[in-house]
Structure 1
Amino acid sequence: MDIKQLQTFMVVARLLNFRAAAEELNYSQSTVSDHIRNLEQELGVKLFERLGRKVFLNEEGKKLISPAEKIIQDDEEIHELFNKGEKIHGTLRIGAAETLCVFWLPPLLKEYSKIYPQVRIILKMADCLEFPELLEKNFVDVAFSLHDESKRKYLSQIDIFDDSTVFVSAPDCPLAALKKISMHELEDQAFILTESESGYSMELKNLLKKLNIKVDTIMELGSIEAIKQCVKKGLGITLLPRMVVKKEIENGELVALPVEIDGINIHAKLIYHVDKWMSAPMEALKNIVLLKNN
């Protein structure tokens, strides 16, 4: 059985899209189709159902996930045994929360790529609540998250850094002229928050509910950059990690509001499955993160 066919199968099973799989694997779409067709012929079963342009993993395909994953991992481990003196190479699949993906991770990945240029990095931005499943199903190797996973015994997590959050508004917002703002003075304010069901946005929503503070409207957007642009235009106020708005506050595009509140902080973490084989690229990333923490 060709290991490349199994690798292609795993990517298609994850993305459920032949074109996207071809782009990730750097193959032509016809090569991806050939790999799946040859694998299906060898096994004597269909692994995917194709309904129009949509692709679905069928029951036979689901049965192949676990053994294919093991075979691929065994293959990687065998190659690793005989490549101790070689430069680290391979593929590293990273999941990351948007806050970290956009405002913290790029310098780390730049440093990593400079040291390990032969490692191919695949970056997936997702909600923190998705990472446990993505790691459990081996869709990503590691994840940079803002959610505490210490209660999930099958996940290991390394604390990276903490950051505070800050309420911000446009400079011409009436609240921007105040020297002190109580939480109850936020009554009837228009809020613009992230769509995430975890982290600092959810903490704020829960706090507003607990204090029985009714806000005028809560606009939820999927992009932090979109939120900042809406706040700059005076459409509402928001709560964001300080590192995300530091530049805009310094240049006067946004104003930090002095809201009296017990800190809603973010806690960045590196998480991975405890049973995940620690490949050389994954070990190298972990070491860089640990080194920066010391």
Structure 2
Amino acid sequence: MELRQLKTFHTLATTLNFTRAAEVQNYVPSTVTMQMKSLEDELGVKLVDRLGKKVALTDAGRSFLGYVDHILCELEEAQYAVKQSGEMTGTLTISADETLCTYRLPAVLRRFRLRYPGVRLMFRPLSTPNLKQSLREGSADIIFMLDEMKGETGICGEKVRDELFYLLVAPEHPLASQTDLTIEDFNGETFLLTEQGCSYRMFFERSLSQKAMGNITELEFNSAEAIKECAKIGMGIAILPEMAVAAELNRGELVPLPWDLTAVSFASQMFWHEEKWMSPAIEAFLDLTRETFLIQS
């Protein structure tokens, strides 16, 4: 078993794509295929199911990934310890939902890249329901989510910033001029919402259900930008965090409705696996994230 095979397997397990894995490793795709076949032959098990150019980890592959991740982390630690220049090295895989990808993380990624050019950053946007699973499977080192403050076994989390949410409409919307709303005012309205599994969508739907709200239409989007554009042309009521709509609020393109969404505290949070070795690069990214969010406050 060779180190290059382990690196290839780790990259393939991270990207879930033979072509992308070959690009990251600077190989041709056939080399990735050959190394994976050799590794599986030596282990006597299938590590991945091949679905065209894409792959899915088998149960054996998910188990093996944990050990490979530990081996490569130990190697990075050794390289860091003996590197004469003292420059930090290694690879970090970061994942987040679409909203944080767009409005919070670019500043963090840019500052980290400038401060630690020797660390390779791999960024993988994921839908909210898949984020914590990526930590458990070892395909992400750190994830960022908009979520309620709550603990979870096996995962360490930290709030980096409280986030405000609004119900928003176009200035011409019939509800825009009202100074007070009741649940009955939403009868017959259309709500523009994020994908199923999003924590603040679930809270909003739960709160409406508790108030016996009915006769509404829901349109589902996987992009905050799409929700904003549809709300601006009067298609319905959007629920979005302040970070995503600050410019539109300042320009008067969207109007916040007088509806209290503070019953549950939502925050931008970062998470990492409690059993994962905290490499110098991971520690540095967490520290720089805290620093950057403090500046943004």
Same fold (TM over 0.5): yes
For 1:98, the equivalent position in structure 2 comes to: 98
CA deviations 1:188-244 (Å, max 9, x no partner) are 211010014242211110011000111421011111111111112211111110111
Question: SS at the partner of 1:176?
Answer: coil
AA of the residue aligned to 1:71: I
Stretch of structure 1 that moved more, 248-257 or 263-272: 263-272
Distance 1:26 1:104, change over 3 A: farther
Instruction: Please state if 1:76 is matched with 2:76.
Output: yes
Residue 166 of structure 1 pairs with residue 166 of structure 2:
yes
Amino acid at match of 1:133: Q
> Cα RMSD over matched residues?
2.4
CA distance in 2, matches of 1:269, 1:63: 27
The verdict on how the C-alpha distance between 1:137 and 1:242 changes in structure 2, with shifts beyond 3 A counting, is same
Which stretch shifts more, 116-125 or 17-26?
17-26
Residue segments in structure 1 that go unaligned for 5+ positions in a row = none
> One-letter code of the match for 1:206?
R
After superposition, the Cα gap between the structure-2 partners of 1:260 and 1:163, relative to the gap in structure 1 and judged at 3 Å, is closer
Query: Could you say which residue in structure 2 is the equivalent of 1:131?
Result: 131
TM-score by length of 1: 0.89
Find the aligned partners of 1:117 and 1:89 in 2 and give their Cα distance.
Answer: 8
1:119-160 alpha-carbon deviations (Å, 9 max, x no partner): 221112223332322111111001111235743231111210
Q: 1:63 to 1:204 in 2, by over 3 A?
A: closer
Structure-1 separation of matches of 2:53 and 2:32: 16
CA 1:136–1:148: 2 relative to 1, 3 Å? farther
Q: TM-score, normalised by structure 2?
A: 0.88
Q: What SS is found at the alignment partner of 1:192?
A: strand
5+ residue gaps, structure 2, are: none
Q: What does residue range 114-129 of structure 1 map to in structure 2 within 5 Å?
A: 114-129=114-129
User: Could you tell me how far 1:41 is from its partner in structure 2?
Assistant: 4.7
The answer as to whether partners of 1:150 and 1:156 remain within 8 angstroms in 2 is no
Q: How far apart, CA to CA, are the structure 1 residues paired with 2:35 and 2:268?
A: 39
Q: Determine the structure 1 residue equivalent to 2:29.
A: 29
Q: Secondary structure at the match of 2:175?
A: helix
1:67-93 deviation per Cα after TM superposition (whole angstroms, max 9, x unaligned): 323322222222232137521122110
Distance 2:193 2:241 in 1: 12
- For the structure 1 residues 265 and 23, does the alpha-carbon distance in structure 2 shift closer, same or farther, using more than 3 Å as the test? farther
Distance in 1 of aligned mates of 2:46 and 2:207: 51
Aligned to 1:273: 273
**Number of the residue aligned with 1:225:** 225
- 2:80, 2:86 within 8 Å by CA — same for their partners in 1? no
1:144–1:268 Cα contact (<8 Å) kept:
yes
CA contact (8 A) 2:99 2:223 kept: no
Distance 1:215-1:166 versus aligned 2 partners, 3 A rule: farther
Indicate the SS of the match to 1:95.
strand
2:145 aligns with: 145
State the aligned residue count.
Answer: 294
> Counterparts of 2:47 and 2:261 in 1: how far apart (Å)?
54
1-structure distance, mates of 2:55, 2:256: 47
Give the Cα separation in 1 of the matches to 2:21 and 2:172: 48
What SS does the corresponding residue of 2:275 show, helix, strand or coil? coil
Judge conservation of contact 1:200–1:264 (CA < 8 Å) in 2: no
Q: What secondary structure, in the 3-state scheme, does the structure 1 residue paired with 2:214 have?
A: coil
Query: 1:191·1:236 contact (CA, 8 Å) conserved in 2?
Result: yes
